[in-house]
């Protein structure tokens, strides 16, 4: 089957998601705000769910059309081939959103879409009575943007940031998808030292280890579409087998995480073990100002406190000064810091080589990038 998929992305990460989709071998890739559209067969659904590190979820596009009235929404939804995808026992709740559209009542749009899908399926399955909805989940979304309705079915289930390793998290955890994006925005390669001096629950070091050993982020979890009847189980097995074959579990890594809080170190160790990287990442309790190293050409990638809470501001200022004192001297190291604090460069004591605007959840941040000296070619 030739299908169209939408990989959803946090604002600012679309180009990274598109890059990942292309790396999986899909050529016809379109990038829009918050989404990356591509075409493929059933195996594309399995492979993108398993491999995409920076996307939020993968959705199957069922139809897209202009709808300014409830009638238009109803009739055009009813004309779509829902029964090709949803079996008679499928559970199909409808969620919705509406932005800059005449049909702004989301709950009404959801109810209309539900009724239209039921009508189409009643016809297709020759059924008079209610559907039991006691089978696998096919979560439908109606998304209206400037009067265009996009109808999708979610293939992922839980968001792709849930890799299955983070049982416990810190107070201000970074989403795994964002942690991965921060790493992918650098030139780090697994042969180089990697340090996160504010590791919290260990998300950035664990994502680095996964990238370093080419481990598919979805190998440890399940997806809603694994239960779908029209996707042959063999297609899933093949995708998992491919991911297992491509993982390089013996790639040596030099990854370190540290944090001032020993409870965070315990959390990180547990999470790294859960992810299968217990032997590959070193965690230790330490203040950033005590960091020293004799290694060269390393990478610091971190998400320090932002000082957003009243009372934390002065402390964070000193923290950024400490960071500057420690890392500015390491000429061969590259340093990457995400923070919403606009005084960061001033406090760190050096202008960044490059900055990139990113949203960490709803917080507007900058990703400050300091490039170290290049390693001589060996």
Ligand X SMILES: C[S@@+](CC[C@H](N)C(=O)[O-])C[C@H]1O[C@@H](n2cnc3c(N)ncnc32)[C@H](O)[C@@H]1O
21-80: which residues touch ligand X (CB under 6 A)? none
Q: What is the DSSP letter of 220?
A: T
Find the part of the chain contacting ligand X (CB under 6 A) among 47-55, 164-172, 223-231, 364-372: 164-172
Residues 6+ positions from 314 with CB-CB distance below 8 Å: none
- Give the neighbor-by-neighbor strand order of the sheet with 194-196: 281-285, 255-259, 194-196, 299-302, 334-339, 363-370, 354-360
Say how far residue 365 (Cα) sits from the centre of its chain.
17
Q: Rounded to the nearest whole angstrom, what is the least distance from the CB of residue 51 to ligand X in the complex?
A: 21
Q: Rounded to the nearest whole angstrom, what is the least distance from the CB of residue 107 to ligand X in the complex?
A: 35
Q: Which helix (H) or strand (E) holds 111?
A: helix 106-125
Kindly state the tokens that stand for 283.
Answer: 């965690």
Other beta carbons less than 10 A from residue 234's beta carbon: 10
Q: Rounded to the nearest whole angstrom, what is the least distance from the CB of residue 269 to ligand X in the complex?
A: 13
Query: Strand, coil or helix: what is 361?
Result: coil
Kindly state the tokens that stand for 170.
Answer: 């810190």
How many residues can be counted in the chain? 378
The residue from 12, 96, 298, 304 that contacts ligand X (CB under 6 A) is 304
Q: Which helix (H) or strand (E) holds 83?
A: helix 82-85
* Of residues 157 and 197, the one with the C-beta less far from ligand X: 197
CB 177 within 8 A of CB 17: no
Q: Rounded to the nearest whole angstrom, what is the least distance from the CB of residue 55 to ligand X in the complex?
A: 18
Phi, psi of 130 (to 5 degrees): -60, 150
Q: Rounded to the nearest whole angstrom, what is the least distance from the CB of residue 50 to ligand X in the complex?
A: 22
| Contact pattern for ligand X over residues 280 through 299, marking x by CB under 6 A | -------xx-----------
CB 304 within 8 A of CB 339: yes
Q: Rounded to the nearest whole angstrom, what is the least distance from the CB of residue 105 to ligand X in the complex?
A: 37
Find the part of the chain contacting ligand X (CB under 6 A) among 104-112, 129-137, 171-179, 343-351: 171-179
Q: Rounded to the nearest whole angstrom, what is the least distance from the CB of residue 172 to ligand X in the complex?
A: 4
Measure the CA–CA gap between 358 and 71, rounded to whole angstroms. 39
The residue from 319, 326, 335, 352 that contacts ligand X (CB under 6 A) is 319
* Of residues 318 and 353, the one with the C-beta less far from ligand X: 318
303 in contact with ligand X (CB under 6 A): yes
203 in contact with ligand X (CB under 6 A): yes
Measure the CA–CA gap between 175 and 177, rounded to whole angstroms. 5
Q: What is the DSSP letter of 372?
A: P
* Of residues 20 and 322, the one with the C-beta less far from ligand X: 322
| Contact pattern for ligand X over residues 243 through 282, marking x by CB under 6 A | ----------------xxx--x------------------
347 in contact with ligand X (CB under 6 A): no
Residue nearest to ligand X (CB): 200
* Of residues 10 and 288, the one with the C-beta less far from ligand X: 288
| Contact pattern for ligand X over residues 115 through 154, marking x by CB under 6 A | ----------------------------------------
173-202: which residues touch ligand X (CB under 6 A)? 173-174, 197-198, 200-201
Q: Tell me how far CA of residue 335 lies from CA of 62, 289, 325, 357, in angstroms.
A: 43, 15, 13, 16
Name the residues that contact ligand X, by CB under 6 A.
169-170, 172-174, 197-198, 200-201, 203-204, 259-261, 264, 287-288, 303-305, 319
């Amino acid at each position: 089957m030739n299908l169209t998929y939408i990989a959803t992305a946090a604002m600012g990460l679309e180009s990274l998601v598109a890059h990942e989709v292309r790396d999986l071998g899909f050529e016809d890739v379109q990038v829009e705000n918050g989404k990356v559209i591509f075409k493929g067969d059933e195996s594309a659904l399995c492979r993108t769910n398993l491999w995409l590190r920076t996307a939020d979820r993968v959705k199957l596009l069922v139809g897209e059309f202009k709808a300014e009235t409830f009638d238009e929404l109803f009739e055009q939804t009813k004309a779509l081939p829902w029964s090709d995808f949803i079996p008679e026992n499928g559970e199909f709740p409808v969620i919705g959103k509406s932005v800059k559209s005449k049909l702004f009542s989301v709950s009404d749009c959801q109810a209309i879409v539900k009724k239209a899908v039921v009508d189409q399926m009643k016809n297709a399955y020759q059924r008079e009575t209610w559907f039991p909805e006691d089978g696998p989940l096919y979560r439908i979304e109606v998304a209206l943007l400037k009067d265009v309705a996009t109808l999708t079915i979610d293939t992922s289930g839980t968001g792709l940031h849930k890799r299955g390793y983070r049982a416990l998290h810190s107070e201000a955890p970074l989403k795994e998808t964002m942690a991965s994006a921060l790493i992918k925005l650098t030139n780090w390669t697994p042969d180089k030292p990697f340090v996160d001096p504010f590791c919290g629950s260990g998300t950035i070091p664990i994502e680095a280890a996964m990238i370093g050993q080419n481990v598919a982020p979805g190998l440890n979890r399940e997806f809603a579409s694994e239960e779908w009847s029209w996707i042959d189980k063999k297609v899933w097995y093949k995708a998992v087998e491919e991911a297992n074959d491509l993982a390089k579990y013996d790639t040596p890594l030099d990854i370190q995480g540290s944090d001032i809080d020993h409870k965070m170190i315990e959390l990180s160790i547990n999470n790294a073990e859960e992810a299968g990287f217990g032997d590959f990442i070193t965690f230790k309790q330490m203040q950033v100002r005590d960091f020293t190293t004799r290694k060269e050409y390393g990478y610091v990638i971190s998400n320090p406190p932002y000082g957003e809470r009243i009372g934390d501001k002065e402390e964070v200022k000193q923290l950024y000064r400490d960071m500057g004192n420690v890392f500015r001297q390491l000429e061969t190291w590259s340093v990457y810091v995400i923070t919403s604090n606009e005084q960061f460069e001033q406090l760190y004591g050096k202008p960044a080589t490059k900055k990139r605007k990113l949203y960490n959840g709803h917080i507007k941040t900058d990703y400050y990038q300091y490039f170290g000296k290049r390693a001589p070619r060996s």
